[in-house]
Amino acid sequence: MERKYFGTDGVRGVAGEPPLTPEFVLKLGQAAGAFFKSTVKRPVILLGKDTRQSCDMLEAALAAGLMSQGVQVEHLGVLPTPGVAYLTKALEATAGVMISASHNPYQDNGIKFFSAAGDKLPDQAESEIEGLLEREFKTDGIGTVSDFREAERMYLDFLSSKGSSLEGLKVALDTANGATYRLAHRLFQRLGAEVFVMFNTPDGRNINKGCGSTHPEFLRQQVVEMGFDLGVAFDGDGDRAILVDRQGREFHGDHVLYLNALVRREPGVVGTLMSNMGLEVKLREAGINFYRTAVGDRYVYEKLKASALTLGGEQSGHVLFLDHAPTGDGMLTAILTLKAMRESGRDLSEWYEALPMYPQILKNVRVSDKQKVMQQPELHQAIQEAEQKLSGQGRVNVRPSGTEPLVRVMVEGPAELIEPVSSELVALVERLGSAS
């Protein structure tokens, strides 16, 4: 059935506005509590959050709803999304919940559920919870709430066990004023790196603001000016990592996949429709199969599982290492990539130059109704004409954002061809978006 509230990454929206009002989130907690109570007699659910100011309000409402159905709630406090996923499995909890809107502005928020295995709750389970929202709930048992104070220690111990010595490396970290602000520098210091950390003073409203994996400009500047060996930028909920080489160049998800695929001798790698053609070509030259999915880590995960592979991800820095964790983890991505880099004996800047990228233009166009824009025959016709203009030398991908009111227009190929093609498509989407 078509779902009304759950999208590709849980329930998302502007905090305080439908659907993310306290009243709805209370009801969501009741529905989720009833669902999990149908699977186990006494559900235990872990609850984590990032640093945005609306998290406390949503956390209180969700916990109240869960407890009204007899659920035992364990607060993890501020913790990266992958930390919640890891602890859900490690502590054998019934489920985990993360309150976050990832890389979005502070006004947005979201609620994401994890299964007992630490991966995203299956679509069927989310649909069943949505169905339960139609019910009128009464108190069905009285749950409890407590603070699990070992969350940070357990998660850091897990990450540390996956890394290798970073002795001799000077590393700059950008924690996006988000969920990694207390943990990232401790992890890198524990592994022996000399660390400088920035954007680690969250105030509830500055998460992702001009910083983090979506805005690494200041980090890139600091790495060059202060002579760091590299930099790492995380996003608000800590499931992404963008690295920066010593020359200030952005070492994004495609670079991370290439480096790790070669050093780990992977038989195959999973990317998305947005992955650069340069990655596909270089992996093929190395005898490594490359598979594309729709955009979204959920689809990358499904393809990896179906193909019995372990490495996949997106340009955004959301990378999956399924032999280590069931979900994307920015800090894990960073330390595994640096481990592979050191094993290779080559610097990050050498790996950057080893993967020549095809020119790519990506524009985000804000629209009032992204689905209506995508349904316009005029847009489909324009995309076909754009592909013809590229004459097989490039790619066009126009898609709605899964979490924001945006249509993303990507054109890839020779620079002299993609500039006019991109401009025409963006202008058309802007016109259709303003009329929708």
Catalytic residue ranges: 102
Nearest alpha carbon to residue 120 among 219, 4, 11: 11
DSSP H/E element including 389: helix 377-390
Q: How far is the C-alpha of 425 from the C-alpha of 94, rounded, in Å?
A: 47
Asked if 58 contacts 129 with a C-beta cutoff of 8 angstroms, the reply is no
Question: Which residues make beta-bridge pairs with 74?
Answer: 46, 146
How many separate helices (H) and strands (E) can be counted in the chain?
15, 19
| Residue 165 in marked binding region | no
285 burial (CB, 10 Å; 0-12 / 13-18 / 19+) is exposed
Q: 73 near 127, Cβ under 8 Å?
A: no
Query: Judging by beta carbons within 10 Å of its beta carbon (0-12, 13-18, 19+), is residue 92 exposed, middle or buried?
Result: exposed
DSSP letter, residue 61? H
Instruction: Tell me whether residue 237 is annotated as binding.
Output: yes
DSSP 8-state code for residue 237: T
Q: Do the annotations mark residue 213 as ligand-binding?
A: no
**Rounded-to-integer distance, Cα 316 and Cα 296, Å:** 10
Q: 239 a known binding residue?
A: yes
Secondary structure (DSSP) of 175-211: -TTTTTTTTHHHHHHHTT-EEEEES----SS-TTTT-
- Tokens at 369, concatenated: 């109704």
Residue with tokens 């919640």: 84
Binding residues for Mg(2+) are 102, 235, 237, 239
